[in-house]
Amino acid sequence: DQQVKQNSPSLSVQEGRISILNCDYTNSMFDYFLWYKKYPAEGPTFLISISSIKDKNEDGRFTVFLNKSAKHLSLHIVPSQPGDSAVYFCAASPTSGSRLTFGEGTQLTVNP
């Protein structure tokens, strides 16, 4: 049973527009959420995180929104740039735990 799901395997966006990547989770024990970005031949790199005591966290062009009642989070990238083209992974954890549970990833392509 997959506890973190990213239902869109791919997303294509025009440069300058907004990219919205979605993630759903089922485990109510999760209260810390992260987004990672992965380029080919590299390991995932941490992008942004959010604790369940917040519903929004912003860092430059990247904003993560958390809807606890819907068990849903999303990553907004605006404006999107061609260099943002990568696979984006959503991950979740109980606050005090080490275990990260990952989604399957969404391949984002930003077209010039």
What does the binding site for other proteins look like in residue numbers (CB under 8 A)? 2, 4, 32, 34, 36, 41-46, 49, 89, 93, 95-105
CB of 9 to other proteins, least distance (A): 8
CB of 66 to other proteins, least distance (A): 15
Sequential DSSP letters for 18-61: -EEEEEEE--TT--EEEEEEE-TTS--EEEEEEETT-SEEEETT
Complex with other proteins: residue 6 or 80, whichever CB lies closer: 6
